[in-house]
């Protein structure tokens, strides 16, 4: 695929090459990691002593507080930050490289970043206890698990004045972690449909009662794709079949969803790609592709020839005129690890990232939107951080409160196996 | 007593020598244990391990007494009669067709370079080696550019069609085309086939060929009765080198297609390990199944090499 980062249409826009969301893609490129030596040291988990822990899983309709534990207290107020270096554990390419020296200068310490390509790898290494980091960036879905496994520590808000001052009220008190006991928000995004107005008929998506149905439209055979990620694809098939909450789907509903996906192979020659939206749409390889909103923001840098022709569109079916279906919304977080040796410094770093100017600096590279009160879509467009036709790819604070906003919870092993079984059917081909 | 001293010293050197030469193997042995046997054991430990109740992840079980065969049994069941069977058959077909192409294209090239290229053979070798200088993924990505709907290939085809005023709709090469994936495999792996074969052909003594002709054999007969049998192990060696990685390949179909139609066995392993939370054990089980299959191929290869060297001694 041709990466064509655009640099010239606005002086503020800087070159960026990858989004964190192509992690699956790059995970593939990096090779199958044999899950070997690292876990050797961890291993030998107590066979009898393990019991299934109750996870506190919240949804916008039913927010939840994460439990506190006596052996995992927050740090006291009024402490001086420790000496560096501060150790960050983040997704690959999920922070502006320019942010790191700036933060290091502001905090007066050295900052080192270690990256992971997917959360499985991150969880494996953190839970083994063989690695030591201060700050970790989990998705909100992982927060209940991280709390239950005591991987992260509660936050002391005295060190985080920017949380109340700058962050959307909806995410100061988020559904997955009421009262921000363990997390502060990093970026937020929706999962929707990206398309090209010159290659597809917008009327097939906009104004439809169920925009997801477009993936079953024969007209787009060969030029339509979805994300190579079963947790994103199975919900589309469930929404297509009229299931209200994919997290609660029964086995029969999942089989029906699998049937619908198998149908796509012959009907529209479906392809599953991680780079299909941000690179595939600008390059004209696809007319329509399922997309994470942040990737559509990034698509402006991937036009061959370097000029965004203004024909890319994004629609989040949860917030579309006439739509009666739902769409996923999510956010990623910043946390202080329980094993951190520099917890005060880690808090100072979280507060730094919640500053509006610093968040904007990071957005410039990452493309995924920080939930900052000051960074409204009007502001970002007027300041040329984003092309106007991509405005629907921005998340608004109220989006979390929509009845149609669907939040993906963690799947337990048995449910995940059912999902993967259908995904295998959908993905084996004829 | 100088003589005694001398013999004592001699004994010491003999004693040292006994350890010195095998001692050279030590780094290699350590390397194998650390980077081959331990990870290999870890794959088994994960495939037959347990599920962490909180993280819902596959955790390795290091004690073989507690190994649980459920997952690997399910993976076998899935292979014989499930979705995985379809993928495994497709992978087999892709690898065998791609290997056949490698032989058909690679053999004449290796033959030409070793026998006919004369003083330019260094240049030919250089040209064959040149792709090694570029990363495999980069080469595949350049194919993506060439084959994309408005890429160079379609532009040339459209231009040529224009010359003859033929109506022509450029095909979408990257939309799940078996041929494109197979050609991608051939393109990616063929240098690895040519080189060992070249070495084998190059070792054939010119005198044996002359002897064959002196005895009245035609060129074709010389090839079939002398060159081919002598180069057969080179072909097998080249095939082993290219087929093993092809069976585990998943980025070629990923980059050149992304369609369910062209999914390979390696894609399924990749999916379980990189996309799922609890599926690590299934990924490990699939890896073991692949290893068993490949071990079978290796046994065939080693036996035929062994037979050849015995024949050569006789």
Among A17, A18, A19, A85, smallest CA distance to A332 is for: A19
What residues of chain B lie within 8 A of the CB of A35, using their CB? 42, 46, 60, 273, 280, 284
What does the pLDDT look like over A361-397, one tens digit per residue?
999 888 899 999 999 989 999 988 889 999 999 999 9
Q: What are phi and psi of A312, to 5 degrees?
A: -85, 140
What residues of chain B lie within 8 A of the CB of A118, using their CB? 274-275
Domain membership flag for residue B8: no
| Contact predicate A205/A224, CB 8 Å | no
Alpha-carbon span B196 to B232, nearest angstrom: 11
Q: Is residue A26 domain-shared with residue A68, that is, in the same domain?
A: yes
Domain membership flag for residue B2: no
What residues of chain B lie within 8 A of the CB of A25, using their CB? 254
Instruction: Answer whether residue B114 shows pLDDT above 50.
Output: yes
Structure tokens, A404: 């149609």
Q: Is residue A141 domain-shared with residue A66, that is, in the same domain?
A: yes
Structure tokens, A342: 């520099």
At which of B41, B68, B95 does a domain end? B68
Instruction: Answer whether residue A2 shows pLDDT above 90.
Output: no
Q: Is residue B250 domain-shared with residue B288, that is, in the same domain?
A: yes
The counts of H helices and E strands in chain B are 15, 2
Domain membership flag for residue A123: yes
What's the domain range around A266? Answer: 191-328+405-428
Across the range A163-182, mean pLDDT stands at 92
Q: Is residue B284 domain-shared with residue B227, that is, in the same domain?
A: yes
Across the range B12-31, mean pLDDT stands at 78
Domain membership flag for residue A3: no
Q: Is residue A293 domain-shared with residue A282, that is, in the same domain?
A: yes
Domain membership flag for residue A282: yes
Please state the domain count of chain B.
Answer: 2
Instruction: Answer whether residue B265 shows pLDDT above 90.
Output: yes
What does the pLDDT look like over B183-221, one tens digit per residue?
999 999 998 999 999 999 988 888 888 898 899 888 889
Q: Is residue B144 domain-shared with residue B212, that is, in the same domain?
A: yes
Across the range A403-420, mean pLDDT stands at 88
Domain membership flag for residue A244: yes
**pLDDT for the residue A16:** 35
Distance from chain centroid for Cα A29: 20
Q: Is residue A233 domain-shared with residue A360, that is, in the same domain?
A: no
Q: Is residue B188 domain-shared with residue B118, that is, in the same domain?
A: yes
Percentage above 70 pLDDT, chain B: 95
Q: Check if A139 contacts B (Cβ < 8 Å).
A: no
Domain membership flag for residue B6: no
Instruction: Answer whether residue A52 shows pLDDT above 50.
Output: no
Domain membership flag for residue A40: no
Please state the domain count of chain A.
Answer: 2
Q: Is residue A324 domain-shared with residue A349, that is, in the same domain?
A: no
Q: Is residue A290 domain-shared with residue A409, that is, in the same domain?
A: yes
Tell me whether residues B274 and A36 touch, CB distance under 8 A: no
What's the domain range around B32? Answer: 25-68
Domain membership flag for residue A415: yes
Nearest to A32 among B90, B254, B269 (CB): B269
Q: Which residue of A has its CA nearest to B287?
A: A34
Across the range A326-348, mean pLDDT stands at 93
Domain membership flag for residue B75: no
**pLDDT for the residue B217:** 87
Q: Which single residue is written with the structure tokens 């990034």?
A: A298
Q: Is residue A148 domain-shared with residue A173, that is, in the same domain?
A: yes
Q: Which residue of B has its CA nearest to A230?
A: B275
Q: Check if B48 contacts A (Cβ < 8 Å).
A: no
The upper half-sphere exposure of residue B182, i.e. CA atoms within 13 Å in the direction of its Cβ, equals: 17
Q: Is residue A115 domain-shared with residue A163, that is, in the same domain?
A: yes
Q: Is residue A238 domain-shared with residue A374, that is, in the same domain?
A: no
Contacts with B, A 361-380, CB within 8 Å: none
Q: Check if A396 contacts B (Cβ < 8 Å).
A: no
Mean pLDDT of chain A: 84
Distance from CA of B48 to the nearest CA of A (A): 13
Instruction: Answer whether residue A41 shows pLDDT above 70.
Output: no
Domain membership flag for residue A46: no
Q: Check if A424 contacts B (Cβ < 8 Å).
A: yes
Contacts of A165 (CB under 8 A, 6+ apart): none
Q: Is residue A179 domain-shared with residue A220, that is, in the same domain?
A: no
Contacts with B, A 211-270, CB within 8 Å: 222-223, 225, 228-231, 265, 269-270
Across the range B282-310, mean pLDDT stands at 89
Alpha-carbon span A155 to A160, nearest angstrom: 9
Q: C-alpha angle with apex A35: B91 to A271, nearest 5 degrees?
A: 40
CATH number at B268 reads 1.10.3720.10
Q: Check if A176 contacts B (Cβ < 8 Å).
A: no
Q: Is residue B178 domain-shared with residue B254, that is, in the same domain?
A: yes
| Contact predicate A49/A308, CB 8 Å | no
Tell me whether residues B274 and A118 touch, CB distance under 8 A: yes
CATH number at A216 reads 3.40.190.10
Alpha-carbon span B186 to B189, nearest angstrom: 5
Q: Check if A426 contacts B (Cβ < 8 Å).
A: yes
Q: Check if B147 contacts A (Cβ < 8 Å).
A: no
Domain membership flag for residue B215: yes
**pLDDT for the residue A14:** 33
Domain membership flag for residue A13: no
Q: Is residue B243 domain-shared with residue B281, that is, in the same domain?
A: yes
Three-state SS annotation for A15-77: CCCCCHHHHHHHHHHHCCCCCCHHHHHHCCCCCCCCCCCCCCCCCCCCCCCCCCCCCCCCCCC
Domain membership flag for residue B13: no
Q: Check if A283 contacts B (Cβ < 8 Å).
A: yes
Q: Which residue of A has its CA nearest to B138?
A: A1
Instruction: Answer whether residue A21 shows pLDDT above 80.
Output: no
When comparing pLDDT for A44 and A328, which is higher? Answer: A328
Tell me whether residues B266 and A40 touch, CB distance under 8 A: no
At which of B43, B68, B93 does a domain end? B68
pTM of the model: 0.82
What residues of chain A lie within 8 A of the CB of B42, using their CB? 34-37, 39-40
Domain membership flag for residue B203: yes
Across the range A60-72, mean pLDDT stands at 89
Q: Is residue A180 domain-shared with residue A234, that is, in the same domain?
A: no
Instruction: Answer whether residue B55 shows pLDDT above 90.
Output: no
The ipTM estimated for the assembled molecules is 0.80
Q: Is residue B165 domain-shared with residue B226, that is, in the same domain?
A: yes
Q: Is residue A244 domain-shared with residue A341, that is, in the same domain?
A: no
**pLDDT for the residue B11:** 54
Instruction: Answer whether residue A24 shows pLDDT above 80.
Output: no
């Amino acid at each position: 695929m041709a990466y064509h980062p655009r640099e010239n249409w606005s002086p503020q826009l800087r070159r960026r090459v990858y989004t964190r969301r192509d992690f699956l893609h790059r995970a593939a490129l990096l090779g199958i990691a044999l899950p070997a030596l690292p876990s050797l040291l961890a291993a030998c988990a107590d066979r009898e002593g393990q019991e299934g822990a109750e996870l506190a899983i919240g949804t916008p309709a039913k927010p939840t507080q994460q439990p506190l534990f006596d052996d995992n207290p927050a740090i006291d107020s009024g402490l001086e930050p420790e000496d560096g270096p501060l150790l960050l554990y983040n997704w690959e390419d999920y922070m502006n490289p320019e942010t790191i020296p700036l933060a290091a200068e502001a905090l007066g310490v050295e900052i080192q970043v270690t990256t992971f390509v997917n959360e499985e790898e991150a969880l494996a290494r953190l839970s083994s206890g063989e690695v030591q980091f201060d700050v970790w960036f989990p998705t909100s879905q992982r927060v209940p698990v991280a709390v239950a496994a005591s991987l992260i520590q509660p936050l002391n808000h005295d060190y985080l004045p920017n949380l109340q001052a700058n962050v959307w009220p909806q995410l100061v008190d988020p559904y997955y972690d009421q009262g921000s006991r363990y997390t502060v928000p990093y970026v937020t995004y929706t999962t929707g449909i990206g398309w090209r107005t010159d290659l597809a008929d917008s009327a097939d998506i906009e104004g439809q009662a169920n925009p997801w149905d477009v993936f079953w439209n024969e007209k787009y055979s060969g030029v339509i794709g979805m994300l190579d990620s079963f947790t994103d694809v199975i919900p589309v098939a469930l929404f297509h079949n009229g299931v209200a909450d994919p997290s609660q789907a029964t086995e029969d509903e999942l089989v029906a969803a699998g049937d619908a996906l198998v149908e796509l192979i012959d009907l529209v020659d479906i392809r599953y790609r991680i780079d299909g939206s941000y690179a595939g749409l600008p390059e004209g390889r696809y007319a329509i592709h399922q997309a994470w909103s942040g990737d559509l923001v990034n698509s402006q840098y991937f036009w061959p020839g370097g000029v965004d022709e203004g024909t890319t569109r994004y629609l989040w079916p949860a917030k579309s005129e006439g739509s009666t279906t739902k769409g996923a919304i999510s956010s990623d977080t910043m946390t202080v690890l329980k094993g951190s040796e520099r917890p005060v410094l880690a808090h100072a770093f979280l507060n730094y990232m919640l500053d509006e100017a610093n968040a904007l600096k990071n957005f410039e590279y990452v493309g995924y939107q920080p939930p900052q009160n000051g960074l409204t879509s009007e502001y970002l467009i007027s300041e040329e951080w984003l092309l106007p036709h991509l405005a629907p790819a921005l998340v608004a604070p109220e989006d979390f409160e929509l009845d149609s906003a669907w939040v993906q919870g963690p799947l337990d092993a048995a449910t995940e196996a059912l999902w993967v079984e259908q995904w295998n059917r959908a993905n084996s081909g004829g | 007593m100088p003589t005694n001293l001398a013999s004592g010293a001699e004994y010491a050197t003999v004693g040292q020598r006994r350890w010195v030469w095998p001692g050279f193997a030590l780094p290699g042995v350590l390397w194998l244990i650390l980077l081959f046997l331990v990870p290999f054991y870890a794959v088994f430990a994960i495939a037959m391990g347990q599920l962490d109740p909180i993280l819902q992840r596959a955790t390795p079980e290091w004690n073989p007494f507690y190994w649980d065969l459920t997952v690997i049994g399910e993976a076998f069941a899935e292979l014989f009669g499930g979705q995985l069977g379809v993928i495994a058959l497709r992978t087999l077909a892709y690898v065998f067709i791609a290997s056949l192409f490698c032989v058909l294209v690679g053999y004449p090239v290796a033959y030409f370079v070793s026998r006919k290229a004369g003083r330019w053979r260094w240049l030919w070798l250089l040209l064959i080696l040149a792709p090694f200088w570029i990363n495999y993924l980069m080469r595949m990505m350049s194919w993506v550019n060439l084959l994309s709907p408005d890429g160079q290939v379609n532009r040339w085809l459209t231009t040529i069609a224009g010359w003859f005023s033929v109506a022509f709709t450029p095909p979408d090469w990257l939309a799940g085309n078996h041929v494109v994936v197979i050609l991608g495999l051939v393109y990616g792996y063929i240098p690895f086939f040519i080189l060992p074969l070249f070495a084998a052909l190059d070792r054939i003594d010119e005198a044996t060929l002359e002897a064959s002709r002196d005895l009245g054999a035609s060129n074709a007969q010389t090839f079939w009765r002398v060159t081919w049998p002598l180069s057969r192990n080179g072909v097998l060696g080249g095939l082993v080198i290219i087929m093993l990685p092809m069976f585990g390949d998943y980025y070629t179909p990923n980059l050149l297609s992304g369609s369910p139609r062209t999914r390979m066995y390696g894609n399924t392993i990749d999916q379980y390990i990189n996309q799922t939370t609890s599926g690590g054990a299934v990924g490990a089980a699939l890896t073991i199944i692949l290893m068993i299959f490949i071990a079978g191929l290796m046994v065939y290869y080693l036996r035929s090499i062994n037979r050849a060297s015995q024949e050569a001694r006789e």
